[in-house]
Amino acid sequence: MDVRDELHEIINLAMELKKAKDIGEPLKGKSLAMIFEKPSTRTRVSFEVAMTQLGGHALYLSPKDLQLGRGETIADTARVLSRYVDAIMYRAFDHKMMVELANNSSVPVINGLDDKEHPCQIVADLVTIKEYKGEFEGKKLAYVGDGNNVCHSLLLGCAIVGMDIAVASPKGYEPEKEYVDLANSIGKQSGANVMVGNSMEEAASGADVLYTDVWVSMGDEAEAEERMRVFKPYQINSEVLSMAKKDAIVMHCLPAHRGLEITDEVIDGEQSAVWDQAENRLHAQKAILLTLLG
């Protein structure tokens, strides 16, 4: 099965699980280790509740709870945890650490976020878009803001499912070339058009989905003042929403800094899909866990 078919299967499974009244306990006796170097609301709660509802068990582990905090390598941590649990979910500062954990684990490793990618978020996003729009082909997602980990994973996710994506970021804050090139390569196969530039008007024009994220990600706090100045013209407000299609939906992976990257009237407005998007993290995590462990 190729990655496109696999992603579609996970999306469809998440939608089925959301509707199901009784799914039993397919992961009874299974354990998930959750390593959190960064704090979290949605990732922690959705994975923990997902494992519980599927009949399994999740263990929350911060560096203070592990010997990682005292110098044990991530590779050794992976080798040991693999002897105890059925899968590891890792929320990391550094993508290289994510790769090292995966390379030394004998059980599945789920990327719960790192500085380069946020794939679980995008699975939930694609579930939300399919719920609202019914299909991906012929649809356009406009991402406005920082070319960060969410943007990277959106580029790849949209390209895989065949949905057009237009990214608008300030100069110097565009997504990394490696991810843009990969998305373009995938898009040539799937029919997705990938556009990366600095014009918010060009990106938002005719969009079916308007998407934004925080201007200052965890780890970028030292640049906060400069980022606030540079990103100010990239706010999603009612004027920007009017550039998109009349039935466009608005998405934000949260947490939102209201009045900065998005206004209250938009995030709380009739076109906001933000709260369905947040709920779908739970159903997406269930689908990912069942695909790996079921």
Distances (CA, A) of 115 to 3, 42, 119, 157, 182: 22, 17, 12, 17, 17
The three-state secondary structure class of 86 is coil
Active site residue: 120, 151, 158, 253, which one?
A: 253
Active site residue 86: no
The three-state secondary structure class of 65 is coil
Active site residue 120: no
Active site residue: 114, 120, 213, 285, which one?
A: 213
Active site residue: 86, 121, 125, 283, which one?
A: 121
Active site residue: 91, 227, 252, 283, which one?
A: 91
The three-state secondary structure class of 113 is strand
Sheet with 249-252, strands from edge to edge, namely 194-197, 164-168, 140-144, 209-212, 249-252
Active site residue 253: yes
- In sign, the C-alpha dihedral spanning 125, 129, 131, 134 is negative
Alpha-carbon gap, residue 67 to 283, rounded angstroms: 32
Active site residue: 42, 115, 118, 285, which one?
A: 118
Tell me how long the chain is: 294
Active site residue 8: no
DSSP code of residue 69: G
Please report which residue ranges of 85-208 form alpha helices under DSSP H: 95-104, 119-133, 149-161, 177-190, 200-204
Active site residue 227: no
Active site residue 229: no
Alpha-carbon gap, residue 252 to 140, rounded angstroms: 16
Give the pair of three-digit tokens for residue 247: 């039935």
Catalytic residues: 91, 118, 121, 213, 253, 281
